[in-house]
Structure 1
Amino acid sequence: MAIFRSRAVDAANQAETLDTPLVLLRPQLRQRFNSNLRLWRDLSIPQNSNHQVWTEEQIQHDPTECAAVSLSIILRYHGSYQPISTIRHACGVSRDGSNAANLVCSARTFGMNAKGYKKGLKTLQTVSLPAVVFWNFDHFLVLEGIDEQRFWINDPATGRRCVELEEFDRCYTGVVITMQPDPSFEPTGKAPHAVQQLGAWLKRGSKVKRWGFLLMLGISAGVLSQTTRVLVEPGLWPFIGLALAVVPLGQVLSRELERQLRRELQEQLISLPDWILQQHFSHELAGRLERVSALCEQLRLRIGQSLPLVLGMAVWTVVLLVQNTFLGLIVIGGLSLWTAVKQRNESMNSSRDVRSRISMNSAGLTLQAGLKDPETLKASALEQDLFLRWSGLDAIATRQRQNLSYSRELQDWVPQIVYWSLPVLVWSVASHTANAGLTVIIGTMGLCLALQQLQEMWKAWGASKRAILAIRDLQEQPRDPLLSAGQHQSNIPFETGPASVSVEGVDFGYIPVLPPLIQELSLSVDKGQKIALVGGSGSGKITLARLMAGLVQPNKGVVKINGIPLLEMTQQERSQAIAMLQQGMPLFSATVRDNLTLFNSAISDGEIQAACETAAIWERLQQLPQGLNTTLGVNGQDLSGGEQQRLQLAQVLLQRPSLLILDEATSALEAQTEARIEQAIQGLHCTQIVVAHRLSTVRDADVIIVLDHGKIVQRGCHDALLKEEGSHYCNLLLLEDANL
């Protein structure tokens, strides 16, 4: 605790006082100005350095896919484009991310000679670039260049930036992975550009095509209308009316595009296989839909309205050069200088902006983590410690944000001087030039205003580009093969009642580059049997249950229900035949009735009441304000853990499946209620597969399957397995008794 408090105090002291008098800030401003001059030199990779490369910037869409994106950056550098979903699967990215070993193995599957090293800062210059480095013990990024005091990195989280030796030394963990093409490497071409992807979306659908054509007419009319003051033709006036319609046409186009993309993404989301949903956070996938709205909003408000101005700016440039070449060149040169300075200033501040946002996120996450568990916070009397830690991080973030603001104010002097001096210079020269008229002056002002719009459009395009890539990444995800199984319907009719299960020579692994978790496993379950799957942590019992349920597909072998492969059953047959009840399954934010019937209006109230009474939940439901029509909160927060489990059991009782798979489905129930539920499940007359974490709950099973490292090591009833002294089952029993 003392260490925790001292670090917080040091962080707060390091942040300094934020309301320092202006007189005392003069040395600091001078230091920042000198730092800005160094950043101008440090921004680009030095041309005299022999140890530098330039890779394509690629931003990760999920916090856990930094390893996959780093590999994708290097593959694209060598001319091979692979969808990020394919690389994620190869790297075995989960909600916990990936590791260096998986990254090396997956890189080799794409034809790269990947090797991991432990390198210090002095020996790091000997590695081949680009390379992947392990950063801050929780992140992977690409190293592009090395100098004596600077390092150029391409960070999947924030983009390309230059870091000083001090920061690199603090965050570099010493682990570096080199990747170079081997003889089997085959380039596959470049990744489709965001503009190409946007154009492909605009080509879909007849409405989008029609509105897109009208929008292009409006833009063309907008360009022509810019020249009406110089080239007055009576026939051009009708186009001015079309030019005025470019904005509403752009709005209609963006709305049509938004509807189309949202519909496609909604269909894609519900079609994703279970293993992809397990890899991503639900809020991150749902956020892709919101990116569609943000993208169309940017297209409508920024890019769509700026395009006529930009195209008109090109026309005005030609007009200026025709009217007065000398003044036109002055205007073009001045605006080019202004644009270059503005772009360089923005790039120079990007790394500082990244550090500021990271500090702000750290402060926010610290406060959020402390307030997330108020009981522990109060019971441990950690309020003061939380405040000290949060205030220290917040002070550092505020200081960095203020420093960034000061730097931007200093850097804006040069472009502002250029911007406001250019019209004055043009006016002075035009007053002494014979063929310079009011057209040149108006054209100069028009170009300046249009260029400002171009800057805003460029910033908006950066955000739009990231949104386009995130949406495309979701569209490239593979669909669940079971959803198309109805096209290959088996000729064998599916029988109702208890189902038989056959697992034939199945191999399965979550990470393709690693050995399968389950290898050559075969298992047969007769109709009406109760089979228990037991084993230690990582034995594969839950994975085997998920294979039987069809949530994951085997790499090799087949799973059959009543002799029919899962892939040959229709979706309706599978949903009626198989039910899986897992521990901690969430409830819908809908009415109790909808949660019980799964939106099936054909189920009567009498059937609902009978199932709820069997699951011992009917009396509790009657106490709700509106009974079955009461809307539950998020994840069923209105009910306790035991009540949620009983509600889910009632849902299964209404379904009456042929195969019921249970994974600690009664763990939150007391012994009396659990026994009652067990008796009710027996009355379903279905085949049961029980994943047991407590061996005391499966002693009545017909067959107990003992798994170890994905292999069946024992099978038999409880009494028969007890006779095998020193066996895996006996060891599991001894371990369970010792933990009681």
Structure 2
Amino acid sequence: MAKKETKVLEQIRAESYETLPSSWTTYKRLLTYVKPYWWAFMLAFIGFGIYAGSSAGLAHVMKMLIDSIETGLADKRLFFPLVVIGIFALRGVGTFLGTFFMGHIARQLVHHLRMHLFSRFLVLPARYYDQSSSGHLVSRLTYNVNQVTGAATDALKTLLREGLFVIGLMGYLLWVNWALSLVFVAVAPIIGLVVRYASKRFRKLSQRIQMSSGEITHAASEAIGGYRVVRSFGGEEFEYQRFNKASDYHRRQTMKMAVTKSINTPVVQLLIALAMGFLVWLALSPELVGAMTPGEFIAFLTAASMMAKPMRQLTEINSTIQKGLAAAQDIFTYIDAPAEPDHGTHMIERAAGDIEFDQVSFRYGQDQPLALKGISFNIKAGEMVALVGRSGSGKSTIASLIPRFYEIEEGDIRLDGISTKELTLKSLRQQIALVTQQVTLFNGTLAENIAYGMPGISREKIESAAKAAYVTEFAEKLPEGLDTLVGDNGILLSGGQRQRIAIARAILKDAPILILDEATSALDTESERYIQSALEEVTRNRTTLVVAHRLSTIEAADRILVVSEGKIVEEGSHQQLLEKGGMYATLHKMQFNDDATSLA
């Protein structure tokens, strides 16, 4: 099974590789992030120009030194040491300018690209989160963005520094003896072919490495986040093997990258050595030696030998560029992904709370069956309506469509007679407070979690909401009260305490519509008593939609809708549905018997 999955993944990666934009297109787009810092780039260019010019000047100093020795000019004994010191001082200044300002560009690039990607994550449709693991998304924000830096700045730094150095040396060689210099020109196309082949290989391997980095992050985050389940069910060996598989795949792809790089560099160096050998052979011919002074001959060989190091470094940056381009293409895929549709133009200050579903059909994907089939019902302002049914019947799907987490396929949903498609997402979601079974808390204080998304709210209002939701009851026993840190996702709190914070958050928002999605399904009796008391407060004078599994919690609802296989099959009050003797009565009887058995 694992081998089959691996082959499928590799096939998907290969297909995606074929459809990617060209490297040059991606690189040009990447450089647009550098464009605002053109001034820093120009200073870096000047710095590396100083470095290249002073480095190339060493060859000419050799010519002057040899010619001076031959003519016996002892008066220049102090001149040459000062020139050498001056050249290295210039190289130092140039290196500092170039490295510092390219580093500045690199940090700015990482920051802005990461923020651009993160801002996109915040508006992607819910389907992206349904289909992607958090580990893969986090890997793109960390690993992939850092890889992009290599292509946009690190490689560019080497390209500028060594490229200008090669240009300076080549110019000097042409000036000394243009005929001999053509040897390097002749070998350039062969080096180009080697680099081209290596580029394709680097790019393909880079994509695999990025994918495997996401797998590593995903496996680790799941094992660490679910450590209690792992240890309780003896899953240590399974998680170890899963992580080992992801890490080993990453290792193998990295080794393939290293092998390609280790072969590419010696081949290029060999080509340069062949050119150098041929150059020396030609230079030692009597005709050429006789036409050059000893100083020119030594300077020419010195400049030619100095070409090897920068040319080798220029070929080595190819792997860095390809890794960065592969990462950039992956990042741009998400940046270019369409945000959740928000074409509405209508805004409302505060809704009355009338909700109407009109023949609504919905499916989670084109290849998925219909989750809802022609659903129609209405909730009057201030009314409490409960949705009940077996697992997978479509209850939570209905709740998710009201704030437009998903787009419906057919029909319409109206708020106060206005289609939710005509409302801006911000305006629509301002009217809704949501409390779910899986409460999300952030690693801040109790007060900060209650006031999440409501900056500038007064402390008095936070405390009032906390009191109404019975958060104060347990917060007063904590060291810092409402200013106590809750830990990662509220790990330091019980399930009931987390739920009370979520309800306090809903009370503080004071939205006209409240959606309770299985808010009390996993609580003990004492916690449920507090939650029910808090819910009585939060539901007062609000339109409330309750998705419930435990039927005892919704007996007081104005109406109960029974959902089965994506359709509403029964509707009425608790007593009416019991008297009807349908699905609701069956579900109620089953739960009543289960509760009686557990108490016996």
Per the TM alignment, residue 529 of structure 1 is displaced from its structure 2 partner at its CA by 1.7
Q: What letter is aligned with 1:480?
A: E
* 1:136 matched to 2:1: no
Deviation for aligned residue 1:544: 0.8
Equivalence for 2:158:
305
Tell me the equivalent position of 1:270.
122
Deviations 1:121-168 (A, max 9, x none): xxxxxxxxxxxx99614652576xxxxxxxxx96479x79xxxxxxxx
* Alignment check: 8 A CA contact 1:341 1:414 kept: no
Q: 1:701 aligns with which of 530, 554, 557?
A: 557
* 1:729 aligned residue: 584
1:305 Cα shift? Answer: 2.9
Match of 1:590 in 2: 444
Query: Could you report, residue by residue, the CA deviation over 1:624-679 in whole angstroms, capped at 9, with x for unpaired residues?
Result: 22222222211011112221112111222222321110111122332244244324
| Aligned equivalents of 1:558, 1:713: Cα separation in 2 | 20
Match of 1:688 in 2: 544
Question: In the aligned structure 1, how far is the partner of 2:182 from the partner of 2:20?
Answer: 37
> Is 1:488 equivalent to 2:340 in the alignment?
no
**Does the Cα contact within 8 Å between 1:135 and 1:141 map onto a contact in 2?**
no
- What is the CA distance between 1:311 and its match in structure 2? 4.9
2:27/2:325 contact within 8 Å kept: no
Alignment-derived partner of residue 384 in structure 2: 530
Aligned partner of 2:347: which letter? Q
Residue 332 of structure 1 deviates from its aligned partner by 5.7
Cα–Cα, structure 1 residues 448 and 270, in superposed 2: closer, same or farther, change >3 Å? same
The aligned runs of 1:173-184 (5 Å cut-off) are none
Between the two structures, name the one with larger relative contact order (CA 8 Å, sep ≥ 6).
Answer: 2
Q: 2:332 corresponds to which residue?
A: 472
Structure index of larger Rg: 2
Amino acid of the structure 2 residue aligned with 1:629: D
Counterpart in the other structure of 1:196: 25
Bigger helix share: 2
The one of 495, 510, 518 aligned to 1:641: 495
State how many pairs are aligned.
556
- 8 Å CA contact 2:401–2:408 kept in 1: the answer is yes
Deviations 1:54-98 (A, max 9, x none): xxxxxxxxxxxxxxxxxxxxxxxxxxxxxxxxxxxxxxxxxxxxx
The SS at the match of 2:523 is coil
Name the SS for the 2:306 alignment partner: helix
Which segment is superposed worse, 199-208 or 280-289? 199-208
**What secondary structure is seen at the aligned counterpart in 2 of 1:677?**
helix
Change (3 A) 1:560 1:348: closer
Distance in 2, Cα, partners of 1:196 & 1:353 = 18
* CA displacement at 1:221 relative to structure 2: 7.3
The 1:670/1:192 distance shift into structure 2, 3 A limit, reads same
Change (3 A) 1:347 1:211: closer
Compare the two structures and name the one with the higher strand fraction.
1
1:561 and 2:415 aligned: yes
The corresponding residue for 2:288 is 435
C-alpha contact (below 8 Å) 2:60/2:299 kept by paired residues: no
Q: Structure 2 counterpart of 1:595, which letter?
A: N
TM-align CA RMSD: 5.0
* SS in structure 2 at match of 1:300: helix
* SS, match of residue 482 in structure 2: helix
In structure 2, the CA distance between the partners of 1:314 and 1:605, relative to structure 1 (3 Å rule), is: closer
Q: Tell me the CA shift for residue 511 of structure 1.
A: 0.9
- The SS at the match of 2:288 is coil
Tell me, yes or no, if the aligned pair for 1:614 and 1:677 is still in contact at 8 Å: no
For 1:634 and 1:218, locate their aligned partners in 2 and report how far apart those are by CA, in whole Å. 47
Q: 1:589, 1:631 within 8 Å by CA — same for their partners in 2? A: yes
Q: Tell me the residue number matched to 1:80.
A: none
* SS state at 2:414 partner: strand
What CA distance in whole angstroms lies between the structure 1 residues aligned with 2:346 and 2:159? 51
- The AA in structure 2 aligned to 1:140 is V
Change (3 A) 1:738 1:431: farther
Which residue of 1 is the match for residue 113 of structure 2?
261
Aligned residue for 1:712, secondary structure, equals strand
1:454 — aligned with what?
314
Aligned match of 1:77: none
Aligned-partner Cα distance in 2 for 1:579–1:551: 14
Structure 1 length normalisation: TM-score?
A: 0.62
Tell me the alpha carbon deviations over residues 236-259 of structure 1, each in whole angstroms, 9 at most, x when there is no partner: x9x999966444443344344444
Unaligned runs of at least 5 residues, structure 1: 1-132, 144-152, 161-189
| Contact kept in structure 2, 1:704 and 1:715, CA below 8 Å | yes
Distance 1:391 1:545, change over 3 A: closer
Contact 1:549–1:661 at 8 Å: present in 2 too? no
Is residue 208 from structure 1 mapped to residue 37 from structure 2 by the alignment? Answer: yes
Partners of 2:221 and 2:240 in 1: how far apart?
14
Gaps of 5+ in 2: 62-86, 290-296, 596-600
Q: In the TM superposition, what is the alpha-carbon distance from 1:704 to its structure 2 partner?
A: 1.6
Tell me: CA distance 1:559–1:307, structure 2 relative to 1, closer, same or farther (3 Å): same
Q: Which residue of 2 aligns with 1:100?
A: none
Structure 1 residue 731, shift from structure 2 partner: 4.8
In structure 2, relative to structure 1, the CA distance for the partners of 1:404 and 1:704 (3 Å cut) is closer
Question: What SS is found at the alignment partner of 1:502?
Answer: strand
**TM-score, with structure 2 as normaliser:** 0.74
| Native 8 Å contact 2:432 2:513 kept in 1 | yes
SS in 2 for 1:624: coil
1:615, CA displacement in angstroms? 2.6
SS at match of 2:365: coil
1:710 aligned residue (533, 555, 566): 566
